[in-house]
């Protein structure tokens, strides 16, 4: 099938006609309405809005300062928005875009405090989106000519993008490109829907074309710079300025483009098309075209006028089609012959529409792609790589039960502190072997998604945009090389919430460009003090695909539950870490429960009681000792260990109904673990409220089944595959 470039080039070469006929994607024609403060209602109603795909409202909106760090959308008091709403309903196919301007350097510097602070950005974006909803706008144009810092601008645009997408994914963002050196071009182009190049004004004392295509101030030069900086051509918008420029020549004999003009006479002026359109058919004016700059101009004695004529428009449309440019942007549409003084009103707009859009035949391509549906309940199986080689489990990739996992997480890698590379030291051959063996998963069950987990404590990587970019690039390379579907970020003890949020934003947009299917998951802490300094919860949850809620068993002087679900009366410290309590710390701050994945630890945990008679959840324990009567040593236990104790009649089983916490004891020895009953209760809770569970780690289950009576007894229960009457190995207590 022919693409846009081939089609337009074919038309250009063979037919030499100007249209974008048969281009397979809809082209865009942006019409800027610049409010001049008088008769705005009449001006708006006279514009042939149906000829525009987008109508931009300029010189109406700006940034208003409400307090030191609170900003709002400021609107001209005399503008009739009721009229614009009625027009939008009349022309529903045209998108109405509001334009925010930082006009002068003074204003730009003043308002730079808004995007520089998080509260400033949030307050302004909230005001903006509220106004857009109330007044039926479809997008926003950001006009900022004096950007103070690259990072500030990137942060503002990225947060604006996410906020708009959250409310309405069809809302658009358009920005101007005033100075390429002041923005991160590739990143901004990835965030916005369109980026238009401002017309460059010549400061030479020479005649100059209106909207030159080529030459020192031509569109082509900036266009090539943007493309060279990885900005997609279908994001770049071509400007057309209907304003004409009237020069007075120094000598009428020298009257081409780039000819000297009279100086010190203030005779160069900007004129509207309706002021000079009558001259086009006046034989006393000589009509000219410039093949180098692709523009039209006319001369009469020492009068020299450049304007947007048929020839210039033809050449620009050819360029736009051949280079797959996003669209045409007509500055200040009222500068056209709005009243029809020279014939038909809005003759320039109608001509552009006819040549650019009217012959356009939109073709809808309906691709029927059968995608595997996401599983309703997600089960992330953590595979902890034995890097040190000290484990006695002998667990390998081949043991992973792919029918019981929807996702596999390989844990865990670290970030090199200087290069920000994914660090696999040579001695850690275990992880290298795992990366080689993981292809088994793809071959045997390609529906199982594969992730790798990385953790870090240092903050060097967050210090600057360049550091974050380098890290994100390293993550993307690693994912591509080893065919992962996503990354799990485990930032231990986070304390840089602004920079961490920005990292997530930048990673999301980088992934969107590299592979839109790549997922971002992060571990979230459950301790209030860490949450407060480490996370902007609502914003982060909007960005990531899933949140792994840390599962703590955090007790040193009392017994505690593995995976305690609910609160237990009078056990205040233990309740702090119950699933229900930790979950509320995130959902209360607007993290959607549909994104939250809770931890299910498969291990058992042993304690040594101070007094064998006090053997309930939360009773006192002794540390650093062994139960000499039983030989029991406190600590982490695999499922095999638990099943061995369950076989012995010396161990008494009990169950805390409120905490959903099974436990058993023998003299002073005390073990918390999971049973069929407890796991089913917890899974019912998860199915009702959450996205799924992350199982830590699957090698703690009886993966062979030689002790518990069946391979992966706990993982089978989590999947709802365990029969009701399964043997002692799971549950002797009903």
In the chain, where are the structural domains located?
A: 378-602+674-718
3-state SS record for 556-581: CCECCCCCCCCCCCCCHHHHCCCHHH
Q: Rounded to whole angstroms, how far apart are CA atoms 374 and 156?
A: 33
pLDDT tens by residue, 522-549: 999 988 899 999 999 998 998 999 999 9
Q: Is the pLDDT of residue 341 over 60?
A: yes
pTM of the model as a whole = 0.71
Q: What is the pLDDT of residue 12?
A: 32
How many percent of the chain have pLDDT more than 90?
40
Q: Rounded to whole angstroms, how far apart are CA atoms 277 and 244?
A: 10
Q: Which two tokens stand for residue 9?
A: 């080039």
**What are the two backbone dihedrals, phi and then psi, of residue 674, each rounded to the nearest 5 degrees?**
-110, 145
Q: Which two tokens stand for residue 281?
A: 């058919």
Where residue 631 falls (left for φ over 0; alpha for ψ -120 to 50; beta otherwise) is left
Mean pLDDT in residue range 79-98: 87
Give yes or no for a contact between 523 and 491, defined as CB atoms under 8 angstroms apart.
yes
Give yes or no for a contact between 328 and 318, defined as CB atoms under 8 angstroms apart.
no
pLDDT tens by residue, 383-430: 987 655 555 567 888 889 999 999 999 987 888 888 888 876 554 667
Q: Is the pLDDT of residue 451 over 90?
A: yes
Residue 629 or residue 376, greater confidence: 376
Identify which of 382, 400, 242, 237 has the alpha carbon closest to the alpha carbon of residue 323: 237
CATH code assigned to 378-602+674-718:
3.20.20.80
Q: What stretches of 75-149 show up as alpha helix (H) in DSSP?
A: 81-90, 105-111, 113-116, 118-134
Identify which of 687, 683, 685, 659 has the alpha carbon closest to the alpha carbon of residue 672: 659
Q: What is the pLDDT of residue 406?
A: 95
Q: Is the pLDDT of residue 366 over 80?
A: no
Q: Is the pLDDT of residue 105 over 60?
A: no
pLDDT tens by residue, 646-705: 999 999 999 999 999 999 999 999 999 999 999 999 999 999 989 999 998 899 999 999
**Ranges 179-183, 233-237, 473-477: which has the least confidence:** 179-183
Residue 613 or residue 322, greater confidence: 613
Q: pLDDT band at residue 617, thresholds of 50, 70 and 90?
A: very high
Q: How many CA atoms lie within 13 A of 394 on its CB side?
A: 1
Q: pLDDT band at residue 370, thresholds of 50, 70 and 90?
A: very low
């Amino acid at each position: 099938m022919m693409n846009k470039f081939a089609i337009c080039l074919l038309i250009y070469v063979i037919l030499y006609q100007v249209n974008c006929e048969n281009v397979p994607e809809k082209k865009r024609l942006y019409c800027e309405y610049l409010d001049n403060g008088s008769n705005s209602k009449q001006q708006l109603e006279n514009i042939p809005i149906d000829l525009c795909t987008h109508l931009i409202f300029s010189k109406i909106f700006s940034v208003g300062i409400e307090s030191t760090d609170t900003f709002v959308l400021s609107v001209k008091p005399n503008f009739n928005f009721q009229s614009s709403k009625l027009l939008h309903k009349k022309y529903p196919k045209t998108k109405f875009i509001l334009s925010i301007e930082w006009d002068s350097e003074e204003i730009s510097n003043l308002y730079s405090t808004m995007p520089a602070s998080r509260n400033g950005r949030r307050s302004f974006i909230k005001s903006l989106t509220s106004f857009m909803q109330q007044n039926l706008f479809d997008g926003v144009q950001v006009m900022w000519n004096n950007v103070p810092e690259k990072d500030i601008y990137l942060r503002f645009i990225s947060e604006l993008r996410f906020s708009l997408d959250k409310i309405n994914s069809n809302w658009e963002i358009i920005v101007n490109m005033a100075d390429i050196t002041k923005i991160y071009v590739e990143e901004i182009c990835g965030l916005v829907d369109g980026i238009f190049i401002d017309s460059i004004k010549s400061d030479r004392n020479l005649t100059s074309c209106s909207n030159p295509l080529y030459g020192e101030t031509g569109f082509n030069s900036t266009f090539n710079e943007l493309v060279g900086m990885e900005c997609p051509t279908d994001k770049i918008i071509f400007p057309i300025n209907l304003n004409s420029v009237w020069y007075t020549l120094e000598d009428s004999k020298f009257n081409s483009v780039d000819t000297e003009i009279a100086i010190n006479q203030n005779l160069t002026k900007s004129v509207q098309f309706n002021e000079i359109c009558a001259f086009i058919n006046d034989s006393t004016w000589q009509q000219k075209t410039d093949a180098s700059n692709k523009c039209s101009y006319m001369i009469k004695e020492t009068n020299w006028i450049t304007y947007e004529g048929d020839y210039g428009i033809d050449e620009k449309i050819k360029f736009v089609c051949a280079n797959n440019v996003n669209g045409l942007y007509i500055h200040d549409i009222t500068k056209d012959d709005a009243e029809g003084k020279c014939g038909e009103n809005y003759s320039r707009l109608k001509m552009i529409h006819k040549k650019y859009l009217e012959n356009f035949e939109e073709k809808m391509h309906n691709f029927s792609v059968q995608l595997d549906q996401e599983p309703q309940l997600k089960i992330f199986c953590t595979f902890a790589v034995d890097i040190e080689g000290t484990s006695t489990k002998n667990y390998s990739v081949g043991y992973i039960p792919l029918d019981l996992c929807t996702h596999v997480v390989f844990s865990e890698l670290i970030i090199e502190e200087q290069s920000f590379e994914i660090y696999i030291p040579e001695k850690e051959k275990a992880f290298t072997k795992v990366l080689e063996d993981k292809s088994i998963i793809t071959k045997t069950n390609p529906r199982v998604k594969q992730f790798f987990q990385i953790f870090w404590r240092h903050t060097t990587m967050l210090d600057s945009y360049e550091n974050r970019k380098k890290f994100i690039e390293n993550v993307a390379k690693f994912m591509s090389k080893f065919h992962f579907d996503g990354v799990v970020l485990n930032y231990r003890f986070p304390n840089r919430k602004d920079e961490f949020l920005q990292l997530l934003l930048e990673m999301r947009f980088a992934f969107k460009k590299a592979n839109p299917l790549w997922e971002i998951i992060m571990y979230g802490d459950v301790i209030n003090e860490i949450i407060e300094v480490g996370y902007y919860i609502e914003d982060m949850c909007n960005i990531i695909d899933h949140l792994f809620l840390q599962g703590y068993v955090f007790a040193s002087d009392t017994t505690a539950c593995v995976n305690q679900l609910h609160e237990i009366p009078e056990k205040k410290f233990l309740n702090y870490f119950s699933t229900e309590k930790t979950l509320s710390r995130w959902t209360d701050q607007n993290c959607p429960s549909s994104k939250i994945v809770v931890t299910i630890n498969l291990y058992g945990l042993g304690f040594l009681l101070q007094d064998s008679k006090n053997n309930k959840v939360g009773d006192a324990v002794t540390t650093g000792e062994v139960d000499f009567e039983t030989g029991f040593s406190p600590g982490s236990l695999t499922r095999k260990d638990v099943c061995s104790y369950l076989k012995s009649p010396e161990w008494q089983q009990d169950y805390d109904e409120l905490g959903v916490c099974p436990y058993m004891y023998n003299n002073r020895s005390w073990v918390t673990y999971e049973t069929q009953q407890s796991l089913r209760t917890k899974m019912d809770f998860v199915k009702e409220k959450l996205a799924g569970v992350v199982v830590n780690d699957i090698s703690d289950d009886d993966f062979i089944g030689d002790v518990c009576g069946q391979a992966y007894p706990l993982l089978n229960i989590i999947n709802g595959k365990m029969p009701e009457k399964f043997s002692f190995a799971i549950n002797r207590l009903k």
